[in-house]
């Protein structure tokens, strides 16, 4: 009864949200089957899905998106956790000075994309520094980091943007951890690394799981950074959705809607699977 009362009290706030989000999802799903397209009629309601899975570009774009999102998120988690731990270990008077790491959080993703272009392009800041230091003979000798199949530009930009977020989340949890536990473990002969992996890491693992999901889903479905940096083959799947929605014939819009539906479905399945696996792993750790 308590849960029902809470839901009923929140209905005035939930109904507009559910109507907008739910209505958008419903229209997207229907149009992916060729319905609600008004002037267009399709003999096969699955033609958009069949065309997607019959063309190699869609699978290549999906794999590329997974690769970029997973790589950037994992590296951000590792670097952000390490830096947050090192800041937390500093004397208290230095903590306020370390606030500089939060600067990337206030920058929009599209701004980070333009910063990446300025820094790592063949005529950018890094190539100019390398030329002045006689590390390269000309700007053409600087490695091509933009618009490549390796997605280095996207990964670096996401790492720059996501690492401070990880640091904020981890540091907030570490501030509740008693440092005397680590000191006691050290007096008992535990090394710094062992104390981290056996005491600190299990303590911050729940927030790492949440942060990983947020960053991975955002990177996988992000549009602004890929729009600035990733317009190369195969490209992020969000760019392909944009092309079919705005730049193709109106009759092909169900293909864009089918991609959106698949991205949304994958995100839900990923979140459910990851949370189930992580909760099972946490139970095993508690048993140990």
Question: What would the pLDDT profile of 164-209 be if each residue is shown by its tens digit?
Answer: 999 999 998 988 888 888 888 888 888 888 888 888 888 898 899 9
Cα 177 to Cα 165: distance, rounded to the nearest angstrom:
19
The alpha carbon of residue 204 and the mean position of all alpha carbons in its chain are separated, in whole angstroms, by 19
Distances, alpha carbon 8 to alpha carbons 11, 17, 19, 81, 203, in Å: 5, 15, 16, 40, 35
The predicted model gives 119-141 an average pLDDT of: 85
Residue 95 confidence (pLDDT): 67
Q: Which CATH class is domain 44-287?
A: mainly alpha
Residue 286 confidence (pLDDT): 47
Query: Could you give the residue ranges of the DSSP H alpha helices within 33-151?
Result: 47-54, 56-89, 109-120, 125-132
More confident residue, 49 or 281: 49
Where along the chain do its domains lie? Answer: 44-287
Residue 81 confidence (pLDDT): 94
Query: Could you give the residue ranges of the DSSP H alpha helices within the chain?
Result: 2-32, 47-54, 56-89, 109-120, 125-132, 152-174, 179-187, 192-195, 201-221, 224-229, 237-242, 253-287
Give residue-wise pLDDT tens across range 117-128. 888 888 888 888
Cα 70 to Cα 49: distance, rounded to the nearest angstrom:
25
Residue 75 confidence (pLDDT): 96
Give residue-wise pLDDT tens across range 20-48. 888 888 888 888 888 877 777 777 888 88
Longest Cα–Cα distance in the chain: 76
Predicted model pTM: 0.84
More confident residue, 187 or 94: 187
Burial classification of residue 19, based on how many CB atoms lie within 10 Å of its CB (0-12 exposed, 13-18 middle, 19 or more buried): exposed
Collapsing DSSP to helix, strand or coil, 101 comes out as helix
Burial classification of residue 122, based on how many CB atoms lie within 10 Å of its CB (0-12 exposed, 13-18 middle, 19 or more buried): middle
């Amino acid at each position: 009864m308590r849960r029902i009362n809470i839901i009923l009290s929140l209905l005035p706030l939930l109904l507009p949200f559910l109507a907008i989000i739910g209505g958008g999802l419903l229209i997207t799903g229907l149009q992916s089957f060729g319905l609600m397209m008004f002037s267009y009629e399709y003999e096969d309601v699955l033609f958009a899905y069949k065309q997607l899975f019959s063309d190699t570009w869609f699978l290549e774009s999906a794999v590329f998106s997974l690769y970029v999102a997973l790589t950037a998120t994992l590296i951000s988690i590792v670097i952000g956790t390490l830096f947050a731990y090192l800041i937390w270990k500093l004397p208290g008077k230095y903590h306020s000075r370390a606030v500089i790491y939060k600067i990337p959080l206030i920058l929009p993703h599209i701004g980070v994309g333009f910063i990446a272009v300025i820094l790592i392009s063949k005529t950018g800041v890094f190539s100019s520094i390398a030329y002045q230091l006689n590390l390269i003979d000309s700007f053409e000798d600087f490695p091509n980091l933009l618009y490549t199949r390796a997605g280095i530009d996207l990964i670096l930009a996401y790492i720059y943007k996501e690492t401070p977020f990880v640091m904020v989340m981890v540091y907030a949890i570490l501030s509740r951890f008693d440092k005397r536990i680590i000191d006691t473990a050290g007096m008992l002969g535990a090394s710094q690394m062992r104390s981290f992996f056996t005491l600190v890491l299990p303590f911050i693992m729940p927030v790492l799981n949440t942060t990983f999901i947020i960053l991975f889903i955002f990177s996988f479905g992000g549009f602004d950074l890929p729009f600035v940096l990733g317009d190369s083959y195969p490209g992020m799947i969000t760019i392909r959705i944009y092309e079919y929605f705005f730049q193709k014939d109106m009759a092909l819009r169900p293909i864009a809607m089918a991609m959106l539906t698949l991205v949304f479905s994958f995100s839900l399945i990923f979140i459910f699977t990851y949370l189930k696996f992580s909760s099972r792993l946490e139970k095993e750790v508690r048993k140990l």
